[in-house]
Amino acid sequence: MELKKLFEKRESCRSFDGRQPEASVLERAAELASLAPSAVNRQPWKMLAVTSPEKVALVADAVSEEGHNGFCASSPAFFVMLEEREFAEKQPENLNSHNCTFFDMGIVTAHLCLAAAELGLGTCILGWFNEQKIREALGVEDRYIVAMAVAAGYPADPEPRPKKRKPIEEVFEII
């Protein structure tokens, strides 16, 4: 797909058609996402694809507390992005004081969502979730931090909404 069309297609999908994404599609999205760059090439991530109805329901509950993300009850799958605690808590000296894994996790998640869009899936990155509930539901080892959850499935409406963006002059400048 042409890059501009892919960027236009990728949106935060909050309505899924109910079909379960095939394991091969989820694996291919993760495989493409794993090509993302990372600081010192540490690749501090692990990606979980959650597809069993019981686990999906538990993750949906963990991301929907206090009225957040109510649409997730209809999400047929989730990606849960795990960050290696060792890298999150101890940065190499040559990386100054920046928490590079924070950036790395954002980069790999963006790559995952773009790959999913290329493969016909809709995704929505969820900024709010109960980490402890996800840890317990999925048996996440202590060596990982739950960095993000991503709702995933086939969009109910495959046609993306027109993007409303600020004029380029407001967000870009050559100095």
Q: Cα(53)–Cα(74) distance, rounded to whole angstroms?
A: 11
**59/39: higher pLDDT:** 59
At residue 86, the pLDDT reads 84
Per-residue pLDDT tens over the stretch 19-32: 999 999 999 999 99
At residue 173, the pLDDT reads 97
8, 30, 45, 59, 80 from 48: Cα distances, Å: 26, 9, 10, 12, 5
Kindly report whether the global pTM for this prediction surpasses the value 0.85: yes
Per-residue pLDDT tens over the stretch 98-109: 678 889 999 999
Q: Cα(111)–Cα(34) distance, rounded to whole angstroms?
A: 8
Q: Return the domain boundaries, the chain.
A: 21-156
What radius of gyration, in Å, describes the C-alpha atoms of the chain?
17
Per-residue pLDDT tens over the stretch 61-76: 999 988 899 999 999 9
CA-angle at 61, arms to 58 and 62, nearest 5°: 90
Q: Is the model's pLDDT at 126 over the cut of 60?
A: yes
Q: Which fold has domain 21-156?
A: NADH Oxidase (3.40.109)
